[in-house]
Amino acid sequence: MNALIVVIVLLLLFLLSAIRILWEYERGVIFLLGRFYKVKGPGLILVIPFIQRMVRVDMRTVVMDVPRQDVISRDNVSVKVDAVVYFRVVDPAKAIIQVENYYDATSMLAQTTLRSVLGQHELDEMLSERDKLNADIQSILDIQTDVWGIKVINVEIKRVDLDESMVRAIARQAEAERERRAKIIHAEGEMQAAEKLLTAARILTQQREAILLRYLQTLIEIAGDKSNTIVFPLPMEFLNMIKSEIEDEGRPGS
């Protein structure tokens, strides 16, 4: 009787040690006598002790911070870049069998790829074309991690830090660019004003009366509300116009 109880207890312990519970986001990679057997889960599964061994694999998306990297751009500017990589395991068997530690392997690969891709671009491209650089890095990582059963979902460059000297140089460059644009706008305005003045002058030269009216208008603007006496020259065109009017009135039949 005692022997039977001992056997029952041992069987219960054996069954309890064989029971494994995997969450919905977990899978179990089963090895039978050292060889890959199958992937099980989620839910309740049985793993035969001493014969089978199970390795848990998390199937959720992993958010991995890429350590700050020192990158030298194509135009020889030294920058420090922070990035984040989003990936998940899509093939648990490959993630366990093909690489020793898929998380560390993906992290190291992300660091080297980040330096390699950014080193092929100039600083202006790093600052203005992040979406394109993110897509390029994600594509390269996804191809290289496919053999590990890893799917790289997204890559985001968080920060691009510059040395203080480079920040000052960029500020001076931006200021020079603003001054250049201001001078161009001013020159274009002067050119347009000159063209308008030239057109107005041509119209005035075709109509003598228009010149006279413009002259009188200018005199009114000069006088304004001032009480001082203003001496101004009388243009010969004005006198010739008056003379011409007098001669026309003095002619017979006028």
pLDDT digits (tens, 9 = 90+) for 143-198: 999 999 999 999 999 888 887 666 566 666 666 777 788 788 888 888 888 887 77
Judge contact between 46 and 20, C-beta under 8 A. yes
Q: Give the other-Cβ count within 10 Å of 72's Cβ.
A: 12
Confidence class for position 210, pLDDT limits 50, 70, 90: low
* pLDDT reading at 84 higher than 80: yes
What tokens were used for 86? 């989003």
Domains along the sequence of the chain with CATH: 2-58 (no CATH), 62-162 (3.30.479.30), 173-250 (no CATH)
* Cα R_g (the chain), whole angstroms: 43
CB atoms near residue 236 (< 10 Å): 8
For the segment 28-50, what is each residue's pLDDT rounded down to a tens digit?
999 999 999 999 989 999 998 88
Q: Using a pLDDT cut of 90, give the percent of the chain over it.
A: 43
Coil, helix or strand at residue 86:
strand
Percent of the chain scoring above 70 in pLDDT: 74
Average pLDDT value over all residues in the chain = 82
Q: Which of 184, 150, 157 is nearest to 66 (CA)?
A: 157
- pLDDT in the model for residue 184: 86
Of 60 and 196, more confident: 60
Res 221: pLDDT: 66
Query: Average pLDDT in the 112-141 region?
Result: 91
Looking at residue 198, what is its pLDDT?
76
**What does the alpha-carbon distance between residue 95 and residue 101 come to, in Å, rounded to a whole number?**
8
Assess whether pLDDT exceeds 80 at residue 70. Answer: yes
Closest to 66 in 3D by CA, of 131, 7, 134:
134
Res 235 pLDDT > 90: no
Determine the pLDDT at residue 2.
75
Question: Phi and psi for 36 in degrees, rounded to 5?
Answer: -65, 135
What's the pTM value of the predicted model, to 2 decimals? 0.65
Whether 244 and 250 have beta carbons less than 8 Å apart is answered as: no
User: Is the separation of the CB atoms in 106 and 41 below 8 Å?
Assistant: no
Q: pLDDT band at residue 208, thresholds of 50, 70 and 90?
A: low
Neighbours of 22 (CB within 10 A): 17
The pLDDT assigned to 13 comes to 80
CA distance 49 to 74: 57
DSSP characters for 145-173?
HGGGTEEEEEEEEEEEEE-HHHHHHHHHH
Residue 151 has a CB neighbour count (10 Å cut-off) of 16
Q: What pLDDT does residue 82 have?
A: 92
